[in-house]
Amino acid sequence: MPIRIRWRSKDYIGYGLILLGGCGLFQTFFILFAQYFLLVANYFIIIIIPIGTTLALFYSSLIIFESFAEVRRRNKLRSQFRRPSKEVQTLKRFLAFPITLPLLISFIVFVILFIVAYLIFGTFLNNQLSFLISENVSAILLLLVANGFERYYAKIRRY
């Protein structure tokens, strides 16, 4: 049975808030980038659209976090009697922290999807519309990537 984390419990609400804060901080950088480099001056686009994108990033990070938790639990059950290996590399220790890898995957995929969508829509539309459409398209595609990550990496079938 797949892991379903209760995010409102006292054990996991801290992880959830850290994921939400990381996604909000990432969107703050995107707002600054849009306002100063892409010259998007409409405040409705600058404020309202990144709120929805932050929630989409947060939900995709939660899905990826649960997938890693499922794979980690499965590997732990399979290798209960092995000796633990010592990992002393700093990068592996940094990525082994449960929050960093889901946020990193979400951010990298979102940035790649946003750049591709902005380049496509930027040739046909002005800066404001291309930013608006690119941000929405990349958030929706990120949710689909997180769903595929859950289905094919963690082999969880919920629906």
What is the model's pLDDT at position 43? 79
Q: How far out from the chain centre does Cα 76 lie?
A: 25
Percent of the chain with pLDDT over 90: 10
Higher-confidence position of 92 and 136: 136
pLDDT band for 54, please (50, 70, 90 cuts): confident
Sign of the dihedral through C-alpha 20, 9, 145, 75? positive
Across the range 5-29, mean pLDDT stands at 76
Higher-confidence position of 4 and 37: 37
What is the model's pLDDT at position 117? 92
Summary mean pLDDT of the chain = 79
Across the range 133-146, mean pLDDT stands at 90
The whole-angstrom separation of Cα 41 and Cα 62 is 32
pLDDT at position 10 over 80: no
Percent of the chain with pLDDT over 70: 75
The whole-angstrom separation of Cα 22 and Cα 68 is 18
The greatest distance separating any two alpha carbons of the chain, rounded to the nearest whole angstrom, comes to: 60
58-110: per-residue pLDDT in tens? 888 888 888 777 777 777 666 766 666 665 676 666 666 777 888 888 889 99
pLDDT at position 3 over 60: no
Residue that the structure tokens 């609400």 belong to: 13
Of the listed ranges 34-43, 51-60, 135-144, 148-157, the one predicted with least confidence: 148-157
Taken as a whole, the chain contains a residue count of: 159
What is the model's pLDDT at position 115? 92
Please list the alpha-helical segments (H only) found in the chain: 13-36, 43-78, 90-96, 100-122, 127-152
Q: How far out from the chain centre does Cα 144 lie?
A: 11
